[in-house]
Structure 1
Amino acid sequence: MKWQRVPLGPLETNCYLFVGDQQECIIIDPGDEGAKLHSIINKQKLKPIAILLTHAHFDHIGAVDQMRDVFHIPVYIHKKEADWLNNPHLNGSQMFMMGNAVQQKPADYIIHQEDTLTIGEFTIELFETPGHSPGSLSYYIKDLSTVFAGDTLFLGSIGRTDLPGGNHQQLLTSIKQKLLVLPDDTMVLPGHGAETTIGNEKRMNPFLAE
């Protein structure tokens, strides 16, 4: 198994292609530029089987319907943000996109609690990591020593909490109780910017000294 980072849209939101041994893949956070993402997937002859969303801010969901419709695959989201997909106020597009509202169809699967998710050949542990948004999820792949952390934890930083449903203390609790307990060599794949490791963030992240 392997992963590929594909920055998309004006905010360079990281979409990830989580690829298995048989070229099946899971699309994580298809935020924008659906045609570009579609081209990358086709050129590599990948076979998407699902879309996982770390959360439902506009820059992480902009190409959801395009990917879902072209590949005929289901979308997964946390229950606390199930109604954000088609609500421009909640997903932030009304505020930041200057009238270009982002509205997507409802998700196919609603995640209600932490669990282990099996999709095709992939086994994924779901961590609820609210704070940046109330339904933020992190997806942990134990066999790959990797966690897809969305906008919860970044290289040297943490997610913003000044958007609807954000909570700074809750974010710090999520990071410390759900992510920093992972092995130090766990790769952290954030929603923006470069990857890091749990060990690196324990040592160097100034926000985690609080």
Structure 2
Amino acid sequence: MDWTQLPLGPLQTNCYVLSHDSKCIVFDPGSEGEQLVEWLNENKLEPLAILLTHAHFDHIGAVGSLKQTFNIPIYLHEKEEQWLGDPTLNGSSRFEMGTITAPEADILLDEETELTVGPFTFQLLHTPGHSPGSISYYFAEGGALFAGDTLFMGSIGRTDLPGGSHEQLLDSIHGKLMSLPEETIVLPGHGPATSIISEMDSNPFLNGF
């Protein structure tokens, strides 16, 4: 199984495509929908689902294009069910990025359980703090964590947006993410990949440096 990082849009939000043979999962298609559809077709990949780590505008801008083209289900935490269609909740009106909306989610997630889509199985980790419905998807078979805007290389997600909480975010990271295997690759919503051990050792937000 392979994953590809595709930074999209003005904020260079990381969309990830996790593939096996010709099947794939698309995480956080944030922008540039036509180009993303073209890339998937050029690589002869068949998307099975869109998995959203959360519903901020920079993570959902290309959801409609993928949904229209491939007619695949959208997964999202139930706490952000209304955000996809509401620019005041998803933040696009706040940041003057134009009105960004997406189709409603087909499957609302509310439990920390296993999620299997085609050949892919994930452990769902509810990691609020950056937003109330933030989910991190742990892909044990590939030793990777699709972390959204919860944890970055040398940093953590911002908590000054509606529904954010610095204390809750740190609880999520320490309680859920730092207990994963140290060699786990962390695939964040922005910036380069990192690992649990790297952030455990050197992230100043987690170590008080």
TM-score range, shorter chain: over 0.9
Report the RMSD for the aligned CA atoms in angstroms: 0.7
Structure 2: tracts of 5 or more residues without a match: none
* Cα distance in structure 2, aligned partners of 1:97 and 1:26: 30
1:9 maps to 9
1:132 maps to 130
Given residue 16 of structure 1, which amino acid in structure 2 is its aligned partner? Y
Cα displacement (A) at 1:104:
1.5
Q: Pick one of 116, 119, 125 that aligns with 2:117.
A: 119
1:182 maps to 180
Cα displacement (A) at 1:40:
1.0
2:147 maps to 149
1:50 maps to 49
Q: Cα deviation per residue 1:138-157 (whole Å; 9 max; x = unaligned)? A: 00010111000000000000
Cα displacement (A) at 1:50:
0.2
1:79 maps to 78
Cα displacement (A) at 1:117:
0.4
1:63 maps to 62
Cα displacement (A) at 1:97:
2.6
1:160 equivalenced with 2:158 (yes/no):
yes
Q: Secondary structure at the match of 1:69?
A: helix
Cα displacement (A) at 1:35:
1.1
* Cα distance in structure 2, aligned partners of 1:163 and 1:31: 18
Q: Secondary structure at the match of 2:38?
A: helix
Given residue 198 of structure 2, which amino acid in structure 1 is its aligned partner? N
Cα displacement (A) at 1:209:
1.8
2:19 maps to 19
Q: Cα deviation per residue 1:70-117 (whole Å; 9 max; x = unaligned)? A: 01100000000010000101100001135x111112100000111100
Correspondences of 1:187-202 after superposition (within 5 Å): 187-202=185-200
Q: Secondary structure at the match of 1:73?
A: coil
Cα displacement (A) at 1:51:
0.2
1:171 equivalenced with 2:169 (yes/no):
yes
8 Å CA contact retained: 2:201, 2:207: no
Given residue 101 of structure 1, which amino acid in structure 2 is its aligned partner? T
Q: Secondary structure at the match of 2:14?
A: strand
1:92 maps to 91
Aligned residue pairs total 208
**Aligned sequence identity (%):** 56
TM-score by length of 1: 0.98
* Cα distance in structure 1, aligned partners of 2:61 and 2:196: 29
Structure 1: tracts of 5 or more residues without a match: none
Given residue 26 of structure 1, which amino acid in structure 2 is its aligned partner? I
Structure 1 segments, 4+ long, off by >4 Å, are none
